[in-house]
Amino acid sequence: MSAVIETRPADVLVTERTVKNYLTEGRTLRSWLLTTDHKRIGILYLYSILIFFAIAAAAAALIRAELITPQGDLVTSETYNKLFTVHGVLMVWFFLIPSIPAVLGNFVIPMMIGARDVAFPKLNLLSWYLFNAGGLLALYSIIFGGVDTGWTFYTPYSSAFSNSHVVSMAAGVFVAGFGSILTGLNFIITVHTMRAPGLRWHRLPLFIWSLYSTSVILVLATPVLAITLALMALERIWHLGLFDPKLGGDPVLFQHLFWFYSHPAVYIMILPGMAVVSETITCFARKKIFGYYFVAYSSVAIAILGFLVWGHHMFVTSQSVYAGFTFSLLSFLVSVPSGVKVFNWTATLHRGSISLQTPMLYALGFIGLFVIGGLTGLFLAALATDVHLSDTYFIVAHFHYVMVGGMVTAFMGGLHYWWPKITGRMYPEKLGQLAALITYIGFNLTFFPQFIMGYLGMPRRYHAYPGEFQIYHVLSSAGASILGVGYLLPVCYFIWSLKHGKKAPPNPWNATGLEWQTPSPPPKHNFEHIPVVTGPPYQYSAEAEEELQHA
């Protein structure tokens, strides 16, 4: 029984279709396209990112199909290069970066802090339009021939040699970037100024701490990407020369500027996942988090340290050895706060009352896969091994473990966890557990062989390869088809649940957290009366849960 919240009465159980909620108030297309309701904007983002995910996943399927045989026989080299570029660009900027923040963050944050909306609802809608405008530019680039520079756009290939639609793609990323800046800005201000009475910083759920840290990165790092891509595009359009070696320009300067953003960007692509895990592990173990302050501040530490390590992407570019030493040491250090989180989550299970429902399965899956991904990061932080492993499949495996095994898994977990709140329906639990298991198996089969291939020397972005690597590519492609099924299944049953899923009560998981004090789905303005918070989060009791079980 949580003694955290005193709400003044009138939060009613929703059992009838005719009761008003944010979904039913206004059913026209216009009411959706001009909405300023953070909950609707979260859903709009979900639709948008799923479209881009589908395109990028199709590209991945073609890539894995091509790589089953050592020869480049399914598609031409040009096409292959465009496939991996499109896969990377869309997955990073049009799926992963918005995913948890723009979908779950938008939906949950105001409710979680007891607010009626974000600080700037109109800017929130604007961010969605910017995202889609960027997306349209990206689609234009793809439809009219594609880009083949890799998602990293390295100069001088991108600025002076590529014969593909670089500028439109870069413009798409530029515009979408401003959408994510606005999202981050909105979250920061919201958390600072709109917390419910009594909700001190140290009473905030860890979801907020992580998303707040993510937002700081979004806001400070993305502008650097924007200006870097703009400079590259200007160089390409007007044959000017900031990165042009013929004028004394330095192509590696592009890399410094690019990675100054892109390294913090990877923390944008993991912190929100960690945010979800903190919520689900506590709920499904019925225990308060072990080491609240450590987990909270580890998010802040990751955000800060994340800005100091970009050079570890450039150990083989002939930067000074001393720069190498510095970036390597800092890269080892930045792993510490992530380790802190993992240890604390595991310790939270101790003396808990653990239920292996779908969100918990995804949380545990996250820990398993993120640990592998994170540890392999150490191989890359270590200078001498990084020299060998740079630009090989080891890197590909590493980042897929953290981004897909980590972030996407957590995103799935979060979607399942908050689905009842968002839609008012339950998803089918057994299918949920099955999908989680299939994903976990498929994922490991897809990406673990890539570590081995990488150390063997298999370079990345290769259309064709020497025969000795084939066995690993075949395993990887087999895994990819299983992984595909694991992701397809939830799409199907989520859609099914919208009409046929069991109606959800306000708090199906008996979770603490202000968002569960509203009906499922919530009313348009979230709370009838703003709640007052009187204690810390996660006031679970494993003992009480067990008593309930044995009653």
Partner 1 sequence: MPEVHTAIAEQFEDMPQQKSAATLGMWTFLATEILFFGGMFMSYITYRHAYPEAFAEASRHTIVLFGTINTAILLTSSLTMAFAVHAAQVNKTKSLVRFLLLTVFLGCCFLVVKGFEYHDDITENLWPGPHFKKSLLPQAQIFWFLYWAMTGLHAIHVTVGIVLLAIIARMAARLKFSDFYHTPVEISGLYWHFVDIVWIFLYPLLYLINRYS
Partner 2 sequence: MNFPIFPPQGSAFAHRVDHLYFALVAFSLAMILLILLPMIYFLFKYRRGKKANRREPRIPEVTIEITWISIPLLLMVGLYAWGADLYFHEQRPPSNALEINVIGKQWMWKTQHPEGNREINELHVPLGRTVKLTLASQDVIHSFFLPAFRIKKDVIPGYYTTEWFQATRLGTFHIFCAEYCGTHHSGMIGKVVVMDPAEYERWLSAGRPTTSLVQEGEKRFRELGCSGCHMGSSVIRAPPLEGVFGKPVPLQTGGTTIADEGYIRDSILLPNSQIVAGYQPVMPSFQGHVTEEEVLELVAYIKSLGSRPPSESLGSRIEEQR
Site for partner 1 in 92-151 (CB under 8 A): 115-121
- Euclidean distance between CA atoms 136 and 493, whole angstroms: 29
Measured from the CB atom, the residue of 250 and 468 that comes closer to partner 1 is 250
CB of 119 or CB of 173, closer to partner 1 = 119
Rule CB under 8 A: choose which of 43, 167, 224, 404 binds partner 1: 224
Q: Does 314 bind partner 1 (CB under 8 A)?
A: no
Q: Which is nearer to partner 1, 262 or 507 (CB)?
A: 262
Is 379 a binder of partner 2 (CB under 8 A)? yes
Counting contacts by CB under 8 A, is residue 317 touching partner 2?
A: yes
Residue whose token pair is 């994170």:
374
Q: Which does 376 bind (CB under 5 to 8 A by kind): partner 1, partner 2, none?
A: partner 2
Q: How far apart are CA 138 and CA 304, in angstroms?
A: 31
| 453 contacts 393 by C-beta, under 8 angstroms | yes
Q: CA 21, 23, 27, 30 torsion: positive or negative?
A: positive
Answer positive or negative: Cα dihedral of 179, 185, 189, 195. positive
Cβ-based nearer residue to partner 1, 90 or 188: 188
Q: Are 90 and 82 in contact (CB under 8 A)?
A: no
- Return the number of the residue (429 or 543) whose C-beta is nearest partner 2: 543
Q: What is the per-residue binding string for partner 2 in 423-442, x denoting contact by CB under 8 A?
A: --------------------
346: partner contacted, choices partner 1, partner 2, none (Cβ within 5-8 A by kind):
partner 2
Q: Taking CB under 8 A as the rule, does residue 69 contact partner 2? A: no
Cβ closest to partner 1, residue 234 vs residue 478: 234
- Identify residues 23-52 at the interface with partner 2 (CB under 8 A): none
Q: Is 448 in the site for partner 2 (CB under 8 A)?
A: no
CB of 252 to partner 1, least distance (A): 10
- Backbone phi, then psi, for 392, in 5-degree steps? -110, 180
Closest approach, Cβ 93 to partner 2, in A, equals 18
Rounded Cα distance, 176 and 170, in Å: 10
> Could you give the CA distance from residue 272 to residue 104 in angstroms, rounded to a whole number?
9
Residue 222 or 358 having the CB closest to partner 1: 222
Q: Does 78 bind partner 2 (CB under 8 A)?
A: yes
308 binds partner 1 (CB under 8 A): no
Is 319 one of the binding residues for partner 1 (CB under 8 A)? no
Pick what 262 binds: partner 1, partner 2, none; C-beta below 5 to 8 Å, kind-dependent: none
Helical pair 409-423 and 271-285, crossing angle rounded to 10 deg: 60
**In the window 20-59, what residues touch partner 1 (CB under 8 A)?**
none
Cα-Cα-Cα-Cα torsion 481, 486, 487, 491, nearest 10 degrees, comes to 130
248 lines the binding site for partner 1 (CB under 8 A): yes
CA 48 to chain centroid: 15
Taking CB under 8 A as the criterion, the residue among 6, 250, 468, 546 binding partner 1 is 250
Cα 216 to chain center, whole Å? 15
Considering CB distances under 5 to 8 angstroms, the limit depending on partner class, which of partner 1, partner 2, none binds residue 222?
A: partner 1
Pick the binder of partner 2 from 386, 417, 432, 527 (CB under 8 A). 386
Binding of partner 2 by 227 (CB under 8 A)? no
For residue 417, what are the contacts with CB-CB under 8 A and spacing of at least 6?
276, 279, 280, 283, 359, 509
- Toward partner 1, which CB reaches closer, 299 or 392? 299
**Per-residue x/- marks for partner 2, 450-479, CB under 8 A?**
--x--xxx-xxxxxxxx-x--x--------
CA dihedral 61, 66, 69, 70 (to 10 degrees): -130
How far apart, in Å, are the Cα atoms of 129 and each of 34, 136, 166, 195?
10, 10, 22, 27
Distance (Å, whole) CA 417 – CA 289: 17
- The DSSP string of 221-260 is HHHHHHHHHHHHHHHHHHT--SS-GGGT--HHHHHHHHHH
Task: Choose, by CB under 8 A, the member of 19, 68, 133, 383 that binds partner 2.
Answer: 383
What x-and-dash track marks residues 152-171 binding partner 2 by CB under 8 A? --x-xx---xx---------
- Scanning 104-112, 176-184, 314-322, 501-509 for contacts with partner 2 by CB under 8 A, the matching segment is 314-322
What whole-number distance in Å separates Cα of residue 466 and Cα of residue 455?
15
Residue type, 363: A
> Which residues are at the interface with partner 1 (CB under 8 A)?
115-121, 181, 185, 188-190, 192-194, 219-224, 226-228, 231, 234-235, 238-242, 246-250, 253, 256-257, 260, 525, 530
